[in-house]
A and B are shown apart, each in its own frame.
Chain A
Amino acid sequence: GAVVSQHPSWVICKSGTSVKIECRSLDFQATTMFWYRQFPKQSLMLMATSNEGSKATYEQGVEKDKFLINHASLTLSTLTVTSAHPEDSSFYICSARATGTGELFFGEGSRLTVL
């Protein structure tokens, strides 16, 4: 089946640094991708909708200057957590909606730990 790959699968960084997470659709094109954040024992919280070639749409309460989203091609979206702090430690998950069929596929998630 269709695959969405996230990289890195886990990352540890120091407080104040920036971290980039990639989300790639490996065998289909995705005009729209979504980014979620999930804290331990909680559900997925939608952060933003990423549309290829345009600015991302952020959910209420999500700081767009802190969580930079770029969707420069039909197979790649990136999430950059800028000036990360320990409270940004979380499981970040992307999903990609296949252009045409509209099917939605999820990545394996990226676990960020900020020290």
Chain B
Amino acid sequence: DAKTTQPNSMESNEEEPVHLPCNHSTISGTDYIHWYRQLPSQGPEYVIHGLTSNVNNRMASLAIAEDRKSSTLILHRATLRDAAVYYCIPHSGGYNKLIFGAGTRLAVHP
């Protein structure tokens, strides 16, 4: 499994953009980059995933470096509900297991 490095914690103010970085320098060529988040006392929820191209959905955008060794999850306007632990996970897809790293704890201030 590819190792990931994320900041332990980050802070943001409400309605400001947030850029959450992730290094995954040992990612294999077939691994997708998945992002999940976990709100307090809940199970993780899917945020976004991508392979090479940048991706957008209603929750966030994912910017993937050209060499695929890093990616950035972008929350365009943080809300208080976005306070959570964000996990970046390289994953080959299919029926393989999902291994969680330490993640980044995001605090959002009013």
Interface set of A (CB-CB < 8 Å, partner B): 4, 6, 31-32, 34, 36, 43-46, 49, 91, 93-95, 97, 102, 104-109, 111
Tell whether, in the assembled complex, residue A34 and residue B98 are in contact, meaning their CB atoms are under 8 Å apart.
yes
Interface set of B (CB-CB < 8 Å, partner A): 36, 38, 41-46, 85, 87, 93-95, 97-103
What chain B residues lie within 8 Å of A4 (beta carbons)?
A: 43
Q: Report the bound CA distance from A97 to B46 in whole Å.
A: 13
**B100 vs chain A, min Cβ distance (A):** 4
- Given A93-B43, A106-B43, check contact A34 B93 (CB 8 Å): no
- Given A102-B94, A104-B46, check contact A43 B101 (CB 8 Å): yes
What chain B residues lie within 8 Å of A34 (beta carbons)?
A: 97-98
Tell whether, in the assembled complex, residue A104 and residue B98 are in contact, meaning their CB atoms are under 8 Å apart.
yes
What chain B residues lie within 8 Å of A97 (beta carbons)?
A: 95
What chain A residues lie within 8 Å of B101 (beta carbons)?
A: 43
Interface of A is mostly: strand
**A74 vs chain B, min Cβ distance (A):** 14
Tell whether, in the assembled complex, residue A109 and residue B42 are in contact, meaning their CB atoms are under 8 Å apart.
yes
Partner of B93, one of A45, A95, A102: A102
**What residue in chain A is nearest B38 (Cβ atoms)?**
A44
**B34 vs chain A, min Cβ distance (A):** 9
Give 4 new A-B contacts, CB below 8 A, not counting A49-B97, A108-B43: A43-B101, A91-B41, A102-B94, A104-B46
Tell whether, in the assembled complex, residue A109 and residue B41 are in contact, meaning their CB atoms are under 8 Å apart.
yes
Tell whether, in the assembled complex, residue B97 and residue A46 are in contact, meaning their CB atoms are under 8 Å apart.
yes
Question: Which 8 A-B pairs have CB atoms at the shortest separation, nearest pair first?
Answer: A106-B43, A44-B100, A43-B100, A93-B43, A109-B43, A106-B44, A107-B43, A108-B43
Q: Report the bound CA distance from A107 to B85 in whole Å.
A: 16
What chain A residues lie within 8 Å of B98 (beta carbons)?
A: 34, 46, 95, 104
**What residue in chain B is nearest A48 (Cβ atoms)?**
B97
What chain A residues lie within 8 Å of B43 (beta carbons)?
A: 4, 6, 93-95, 106-109
